[in-house]
Each structure stands twice: as structure tokens, then as C-alpha cells.
Structure 1
Amino acid sequence: MPMIGGKKVLVTGGAGFIGSHLVDALVADNDVTVIDDLSSGRQEYVHDDASFAEVDVRDRSALAAAIDDPDVVFHLAAVADTRRTSAGWDAPHDDLAINTEGTLNLLEALRTADLDPKVVYASSCAVYGNPEYAPMDEDHPYNPISPYGVHKLAGDRYVRAYHTEHGFDTAALRIFNTYGPRQPRYVMYDFLRKLQADPAELEVLGTGEQVRDYAYIDDTVSAFLLLADRAEPGEAYNVSGESVISIRDLAATMIELLGLETELRFTGSSWKGDPVALRADVTKLRELGYAPTIDIEEGLRRFVAAFEAEEGPIGETPLEGEPSVDVPRGPER
């Protein structure tokens, strides 16, 4: 895994799923500060060797006070549950305030303090919406279909604008589908919870033909580190693990891995704002040296082992194997 060392690093959202794993990779060789409002992250996920401040990115004065001349800023603080922010469009103003205005607050705090760190922004494939072609590269048209995608696109473009107009050294990582320990929602976790409750039948939203491009958490973390070290200023990069699989096949693989005999039942409809197919072109990231190392079968094995270590076995016996990280107790982000 590529590393940066000897830096003062700020990670916003560092108590959450991806952020806490990123902090784990940074603390050995860097002075790391985490800020998080703990609305979905958990402080126990923050490595003991990192400093922590409970800060809401909507609070401009508190945010500015928490920034202490970092060399690198990883900005991951966000409302990340796209189902909550798109299904029914029930909280678009909250999503805007955190995902867009929070990003602007961070950039302005750095600008007004005359600081010039490397800024790596956690963007999303949601900026693209439904694909016009596949795999989608970074030049794919922007057509977000959810408030989350709209607001992530605004943050993505703010980061670019601060590079263009103010000379910031920025990069955006457009994340497709990342999974792993500490992730308490989305399709894989939902499947495991359902199978734990009833191994005989698994309800699957939609037709099962939805396609996703998954990256195990370790590979996504390596992409963040690569961007901090090697990204061209102002550029955006896709990241996935190049593990393209339909939801039907994902469910079947998980069931086979667990040794279950489970009937799949499809609802025929999914939640509003859910793209039919997502597949990333990561050529641009590969040119920086990115090479995913965990395929979907190994990633699922690790994910299931981590789930069973915390939530208990699925079926009669737990899956053999160890999670790739220490798994804390309690709900996950």
C-alpha cells in the first residue's frame, strides 16, 4: 500500500467507515487529527494514536478552530446514506448543508487562514447518474439523479474551482462501491442481516440485474493515499476494485460462501435514485500506480468473517477466517 509519511494530516469524517480505515493506515507515520460530529461515525473507531475533535463541518468557527496548519487534508465528512437522501427526497436541505456547504466551509477555512495543504476530497460515482456508456471514465457527463449526487458534484466542482482560482493543490476521488468492516448498511450488510434472521429466504430489492463495481476497503484506502502522494493538482479520479457483479450473483456468491440453501426472492423495484448499472474505468488511477489487490470472493470472505465476529454466526457454524482488521463492538457506519 502506498504511504505518505512525516506529515500533519487532517481527516474529516475520520470516525466513519472509510475515514477510520484511512486513519488506521496513516497513524504509524504521520501526525493525524480526526474531526467528526459522530452523527454516524463512532469515536471508538478512531485509532488511539490519532487526535480527535468532535466538530460539525456546518459550524464554521468550530471547524476553523480545529484546523492546525495540516500538510494534507482528507475530506470525507458527509451524509453518505444515499437511500436516506434520495428515497422520497426527504432530507435534501440537510444533505446540502453537510455535503456541499460543509465542503465549502472547509475550503474557506483553509483559504482565509492562508493555508495550502494538499486537499483530497471524497467524491462519488453518484455525480455521473445512470451511465451513458460503460465503463464510465472521468469524462463521463454529469447527470446525478439524487440529492446526494447533486451535492457531491457541487463539492467536487468546488474543490476544482479552488484549485483553478486560488491555486489549491486538490484532488477528488470518485468512489464507486466500497465495502468492508465497520460498514453497517448497504446491500452486503443488509443481506447478512436478513440471512442471519432467516437463512431459508433472502429478499432482494429490484430484479437482481442491477450491476455494481466493488472495491474492498483496503483498496479504496490505497487510492486515497495515492492521490495525496501523486495526483495531478485539480484532477478527479475514479476508484473501484474492478469487481463487477450483478446483485443476483452477489447474493448467490454470499449464500455459497456461507454454505446455505437459500431461496432468492426479488421485489421487482428498488429505491428512487438507485442507478441500474455502475462500472468504473480506473485507467487514470492505474497510471498513478493503483492496483486493486482484493477480489470479490476474498473481500466477501473477510466481510462475512468481520460481521460474524461482531454480530454472531449466520447459519449453524461461523465462517472460518479472520477479519482483516480489529472489529469494534457496536453499530457500524
Structure 2
Amino acid sequence: MKILVIGSKGFIGSACYSYFKNQPGYEVYGADVVVEYDDPNYFLIDAINADFKKVFHKQQFNWCINCAGAASVPESFNNPERDYLLNVYHLVSILNAIKEGNANCRLIQLSSAAVYGNPQMLPITESHTLNPLSPYGVHKKQAEELCQLYHTHFSLNVHIFRVFSAYGAGLKKQLFWDLYKKSQTQTNITLFGTGNETREFIHVTDIVNAMNLFINADRPGFSITNIANNNTITITTAAKTFLKYIGFSGGLSFTGTNRVGDPLYWQADNSRLISLGYQQKVNFEDGINTYCKWLKGKE
């Protein structure tokens, strides 16, 4: 089975690429903007104007996993044009390449729980109203709509992964990376919000586990699935757990005001994922511990 991982040098993409590369029965290809000299199954692409038709004419893939794109709410406000190009415009090239060169290829498109915004009810099901709070969330919603459109009109097989708060070795952005950087230079750390906000953290290993389940199921058609563990944690608890394992003994406080674009509460209904046989492999405490060991190894 041939798999193409787009964004194979990124946080989730690299974990995905490494996993399938080491599994029997898979011929794995990667595509990213970073030069790779030692891997013959690697395509160097442009971040925005990638010509995926050339890639799909060279190989007939069974699965394409698109992990590429921007993934920052603050950066999407600072530069919404770039966020659009990386999360929407870039996807059009992928969809057209599949449509014209490899129509039987199944696509896993990484989306985000940011499409939900502040939920009207908990837990959040996949049928919940979409009300994104940031350009990033809006663009992820638009990307989903494009996938739905290409399925409806061209019969492309697309599975949308609405990933909640991903973490693990390789992550260099968002809450834990911010905490890590501050812990290196500050004795008292301040975060946005009240600390009572909740998130659904899922380890990158479990995200790849979900991909593996979908590939093994090999279902055609179109689907949307929450990628989460149905296990909410407050920002205070998450931050204190991280700081404990990173070895920070200073103070932790909150501004009392939420950052623009951030939702207040998340709790995912992951029953669709469970129905495929999904079981969480990495609990939060163990995942944070190994993540902190990876960060310390970089010092």
C-alpha cells in the first residue's frame, strides 16, 4: 500500500511518516518544504504553489494524508493572507491532483476543533454548529467545505480529522511550548485567561493511531471525525502538570482575560472514533512526561 504524507517534516506529519515507514506492507512517501537528501521517496514542494499533479503522476497512491498548513490562532490574526494560502489555497492543488491523476486515492485531511468556536453544548459532536473565532478556524472550515464539494461533484474519498489539542515530542508552538520558553527565563509565569478554561489534549501517538484505524478500515466516501479522548482538562491543571515535569518551581498566574480567538471550553464526543476500535494509548500525565524529556534533550 502506498501512502503520501504531505507536511512530513512537521509535528504531526513527521510522527505519521515515521510510524508508517516502520510498518510492514507500506510504501511511504513524504512531501514538504524542507530539503531531504537521503530519502528517495521524498518530494520537495513549495509551501503555497506546490504542483501536486507532478507528484500524483509519478506515483499512484492508495492514501494521501495532508498534515501541511499553518496552525496558529495568533499568527492567523497577524497574517490572515498567509494562513489562507497555507490552509485553503494549498489544499485546492491537492484536491485537483487527486481528481485528475489518482481519483481512487483516499484523502485524510487534518482539520481542527477550532472550527467549532465556543460550543453551544457539550460534549461537541461532529454535527455541532460551526462558529470559528479566528481566521485560522474560518480557513479550516473553508478547507472542509472544499473537501465536501470535491466529494459531492467528483466522488473523491475524503475523511476529515477534527483534531483537538495535539501535543507531544516535536511540538514547538501553543500552550506547552509557550510555558517551556517562559520557564527558561522567568520565575513567575503569566498566561491568558482564568485557568478554568478546558481543553481536550490528545497525544500525537494517538492521532497517528486514529489514522491507522482509518487506513485499515479502508472506507470510501466522506466522513468527519472528532480526534480526541473525551477527557477534558483545565488549563490550570495542564500547565501545572507540564511545569512539574519540566522542573519549574516558580509561580503561575493568569491575566483573567482570554486571548482573542480562543474558545472557553472544549469537551469532545469521540463516539465515531471509538466505533472504529480506537483506544487511547498515551494518558495525559505520561504524555507530558515524555514530551518534557524530549524538550530537555534539546537544551
TM-score of the superposed pair, with normalisation by structure 2 = 0.92
The Cα of 1:102 is off from its aligned counterpart by: 1.1
Partner in structure 2 of residue 202 of structure 1: 189
CA distance in 2, matches of 1:92, 1:235: 27
The Cα of 1:254 is off from its aligned counterpart by: 2.5
The one-letter amino acid of 1:58's match is I
Which of 53, 59, 74 pairs up with 1:64? 53
The Cα of 1:245 is off from its aligned counterpart by: 0.9
CA distance in 1, matches of 2:184, 2:252: 14
Q: Does 1:223 align with 2:210?
A: yes
Alpha-carbon distance change, 260 to 56 in structure 1, aligned in 2, over 3 angstroms: closer
Pairwise mapping of residues 1-333 of structure 1 onto structure 2 (< 5 A)?
Answer: 7-28=1-22, 29=24, 30-38=26-34, 51-56=41-46, 58-59=48-49, 62-67=51-56, 68-85=59-76, 89-198=77-186, 200-230=187-217, 231=219, 233-258=221-246, 260-311=248-299
**Structure 1: where are the runs of 5+ without partners?**
1-6, 312-333
CA distance in 2, matches of 1:261, 1:15: 34
Alpha-carbon distance change, 49 to 291 in structure 1, aligned in 2, over 3 angstroms: farther
CA distance in 2, matches of 1:10, 1:165: 23
CA distance in 2, matches of 1:217, 1:236: 19
CA distance in 1, matches of 2:278, 2:266: 20
The Cα of 1:270 is off from its aligned counterpart by: 3.4
CA distance in 2, matches of 1:226, 1:96: 30
- The Cα offsets for residues 131-169 of structure 1, whole Å up to 9 and x where unpaired, read as 111110101101111111111111112212222221212
Alpha-carbon distance change, 238 to 229 in structure 1, aligned in 2, over 3 angstroms: same
The Cα of 1:90 is off from its aligned counterpart by: 2.5
- The Cα offsets for residues 50-74 of structure 1, whole Å up to 9 and x where unpaired, read as 72222125325x3211222211100
Q: Is the 8 A contact 1:34 1:50 kept in 2?
A: no
TM-score of the superposed pair, with normalisation by structure 1 = 0.83
Alpha-carbon distance change, 255 to 97 in structure 1, aligned in 2, over 3 angstroms: closer
Structure 1 residue ranges, 4+ long, deviating more than 3 angstroms after superposition: 255-261
Q: State the aligned residue count.
A: 294
The Cα of 1:83 is off from its aligned counterpart by: 1.9
- The Cα offsets for residues 236-259 of structure 1, whole Å up to 9 and x where unpaired, read as 100113341111111222233455
The one-letter amino acid of 1:76's match is C
CA distance in 1, matches of 2:164, 2:40: 27
